[in-house]
Amino acid sequence: MYDKTKFKIKDNPIILGLESSCDETAAAVIKGRKLLSSQIMSSATEQAKFGGVVPEIASRAHTEAVDEVVRRALDEAGVTVEQIDAVAVTYGAGLLGALLVGLSFAKSLAYTLGVPLIAVNHIRGHMAAAYLVDEELKPPFITLLASGGHTAILHTKTYTEFEILGGTSDDAAGEAFDKVARVLGLSYPGGVNVERLAKDGQNSVQLPKCQVKNTQALQFSYSGLKTAVINYCHNKEQKGEVVDKENVACSFQHAAVDPLVKKTVECAKARGVKTVTAGGGVIANGYLRNTLEEECKKAGLKLVLPEKKYCTDNAAMIAAEGLIQYQAGNFANLNLNAKAQIPLK
């Protein structure tokens, strides 16, 4: 029988990572901290027809793609299925039906191969993406996390312990990008389309910056900024004026990003931490990346920034967090269930 207490921990294990929490079916292989392959099949084009992710379509697409995406990841890595030392899989947060496809596949594989199953929290995956950029990276570091569901600044103290220094009291940064995209009539997925439009615009529309409340813990708020964009566009329309969409997109991008970058650098200074990392879909934003690079350089901080494709959902980051859990001997049972929501901590 499958007994998670019997597994031995190897040096430089080959780990297969699997991700299916939303509309990307992804598989990746790492050996130690070295990334051997990363494959993604996405149902985003199909979802775009509906203006967002339809859970049922996502689940079906995962079912159709999962076998193929794993085969491609193994081929790209030049690894046979028998060489896999552990299977790491996203068990939450995400769409339940979507998660269950990856989870069921991972359980069957771990059972068949007789290797550890590792339960990965999707958000911890985003945080771990930086480990693959720099094989020498070790805690402590400050992470700016910004995705569709989370916005936070974290202080990673050891491989398995971190402190949340700040978060959002309402919308996440990615959610705000997506809502503004809708107001500007841009198609799904919104964030990247706001960025494209912003490239032709000026930071000329007066918008409140995403608010920073310095309560006991640092808190961001995006609802005021989002409402300001909506009001600006509606006022223009009511007056029969053309909405300067490029300028709105550019001004919004500045207002949404600048406080995140500023506070991340301030947190690093305040904690005396010399390294900054970042993760989550919004970190794929070019303006954010440039600003973060500039500000870290000015402050004398080392920045470890995953490539754009490892900021948005992927399985390399799941394998990377899987490795952290593997080294800690944190293995799951085969009754592991999917969870729609998991607290960051």
d(CA 23, CA 46): 10
Quick check: 148 binds ligand KG4 (CB under 6 A)?
yes
Q: How far is the CB of 9 from Zn ion (least distance, A)?
A: 28
Using the contact rule CB under 6 A, the part of the chain among 40-48, 127-135, 276-284, 335-343 near ligand KG4 is: 276-284
Residue 36 to residue 244: CA distance in whole angstroms: 45
Closer residue to ligand KG4 in complex, CB, 16/282: 282
- Contact letters for ligand KG4, residues 152-191 (x by CB under 6 A): ----------------------xx-xx----------xxx
Q: Rounded to 5 degrees, what are φ and ψ at 35?
A: -80, 120
**Does 143 engage in binding with Zn ion (CB under 5 A)?**
no
Residues 145, 122, 33, 35: is their CA dihedral positive or negative? negative
CB of 305 vs ligand KG4, minimal distance in Å: 14
CA dist., res. 201 & res. 169, Å (int):
29
Q: Which is nearer to Zn ion, 22 or 229 (CB)?
A: 22
- 92 belongs to the binding site for ligand KG4 (CB under 6 A): no
Q: Give the CA distances from residue 314 to residues 25, 198, 280, in Å, rounded to whole numbers and listed in that order.
A: 8, 25, 10
Q: Tell me if 201 contacts ligand KG4 by CB under 6 A.
A: no
User: Cα(262)–Cα(212) distance, rounded to whole angstroms?
Assistant: 11
- 284 near ligand KG4 (CB under 6 A): yes
* Identity of the residue numbered 308: K
Question: Judged by CB under 6 A, how many residues of this single chain contact ligand KG4?
Answer: 20
- C-alpha pair distances (Å), 134 with each of 39, 252, 294, 322: 20, 32, 19, 17
93 binds, among Zn ion, ligand KG4, none (CB under 5 to 8 A by kind): none
Q: List residues binding ligand KG4 (CB under 6 A).
A: 126, 147-149, 174-175, 177-178, 189-192, 195, 280-282, 284-285, 312-313
